[in-house]
Amino acid sequence: MRAYFSDIPRTLLAMGYWAFMLYLLVPLTLMMAMSFKDANFIAFPIGDLTLRWYSQVLHDKQFLEACLYTIAIAVATTFAATVIGVWIAMLIAQSGSRWSGILFALACLPAVVPGMISAISLRVFISTIDMPTGTGAIVLGHTVHAVPFVVVMALTRLRSMPPNLVDAARDLGADSIVAFFRVTLPYLGPAIAGGMIFCVLLSVDDFVRTFFLGGYRPTLPMLIFAKVQGGMSPEINAMATLVLIVTAAVGLYAEYMTRRSRSR
């Protein structure tokens, strides 16, 4: 940070950073603060504080069921997307340059298709294969959405892998399968862990696919959506705050893990 940079208006940029930070955090902070309001409606100023919304939420059967349902979907999605994503990444890594470009573009397709279109096309698709809407369809939709991210993460890690590692395993008597499970997969470990957490968050956050593919059991985003549309009370804030804290903690942990593995 020598003189060259000091003549860029550093202070201005620093102020910009903190203003942006404020912009990002203020709405969420307000949202969390409102969850403590001791009144049946959402309005500023907050006034008296209470924890009753939290106790209400934690005793709300609908909320708890939605939590479990969301988690179940996320777990299934994560498992499926990780297996398929890593598999696709392995194929791309091992194909020639011409094929790998095409395959990579194909693998990334669901990530560039706007969410709404993705949801609609999946809705059409499951009806053409006579699959009912509901849990299976949601998991399928979430998995399609999550696979590209796993592919990119796994592929990045695979490309940094010394090519001789697999050769060494094969040389020492491992066939391709053993070499994959004993050398490649552990090497991918950090990328897979990061990818899995990303899958969980994508699935938990997803609204539009769930909306079009789901049945009558609401996931957390659907529950919150319904409540926001149906008139607001600080209960939603308590609910959203709980979800936010959990997902942010998971996200931060993932970030911390991937950073640590990268620095090693």
Partner 1 sequence: MQPVVQFENVTKTYGQAIAVDDLNLAIEPGKFVTLLGPSGCGKSTTLRMLGGFETPSSGRILLAGRDVTHLPPNKRNVNIVFQDYALFPHMNVARNIAFGLELQGKSADAIHRRVMELLRLVRLEAFAERLPSELSGGQRQRVALMRALAPDPQVLLLDEPLSALDAKLRQQMQIELKAIQETTGKTFLFVTHDQEEALTMSDVIVVMNNGRIEQMGDPHTLYSHPNSVFVANFIGEANLLKATVVARDGDRTALRWNGLEVQASATGHPAKAGDAACIVVRPEAIRFSGSPADGVNAMPGKIRQRVFKGNHTSMLVEVSDGTHLTALVHLGDTESIAGEDVWISWKPENATVIRDEAVPA
Partner 2 sequence: MASIEAAQAELENGGPMPRYSTNISRIVNSRLYQLTLGAAVASRAGRLALLAAVPLLWLAFLHIGPIYQMAKISFLTSYPLQHGRPASYTLANYAIFFSESIYFMPLIRSFVFSLASTAITLIVVFPVAYYVAKIVRPDWRSKALLLLLVPFWAGELIRTFSVIMLLANRGALNFLLRDIGLIDRPIPMLYTSFSLGFGLIYLICLYMLLPLYSAIDKIPKHLLDAAADLGAGPFTRFRRIVLPLSRDGIVSGCSLVFLTCIGVFATPMLLGGPTNVMFPETISGFFHGASDKWPVGAAFALIMLVSALTTAGIFMRLVGGKATKLM
> CA 68, 111, 76 angle in degrees (round to 5)?
25
State both tokens at 196. 């899995």
Other beta carbons within 10 angstroms of residue 227's beta carbon come to 18
Name the one range near partner 2 by CB under 8 A: 54-62, 161-169, 188-196, 238-246.
238-246
| Interatomic CA distance for residues 39 and 19, integer angstroms | 31
**The binder of partner 1 chosen from 169, 200, 202, 240 (CB under 8 A):** 169
State both tokens at 117. 């279109």
Q: Which of residues 130-149 bind partner 2 (CB under 8 A)?
A: 140, 143-144, 147-149
Based on its alpha-carbon atoms, the radius of gyration of the chain, rounded to whole angstroms, reads 23
**The binder of partner 2 chosen from 72, 75, 108, 257 (CB under 8 A):** 108
State yes or no: residue 132 binds partner 1 (CB under 8 A). Answer: no
> Among positive and negative, which fits the CA dihedral 108, 111, 112, 114?
positive
State both tokens at 9. 């208006």
Q: Shortest distance, CB of residue 137 to partner 1, whole angstroms?
A: 38
State yes or no: residue 22 binds partner 2 (CB under 8 A). Answer: no
Q: Which of residues 189-228 bind partner 1 (CB under 8 A)?
A: 189
| Interatomic CA distance for residues 144 and 118, integer angstroms | 9
Identity of the residue, 64 or 101, whose beta carbon is nearer to partner 2 in the bound complex:
101
| # of chain residues touching partner 1 (CB under 8 A) | 19
Question: Could you list the residues that contact partner 1 (CB under 8 A)?
Answer: 162, 164-165, 167-175, 178, 182-183, 186-187, 189, 264
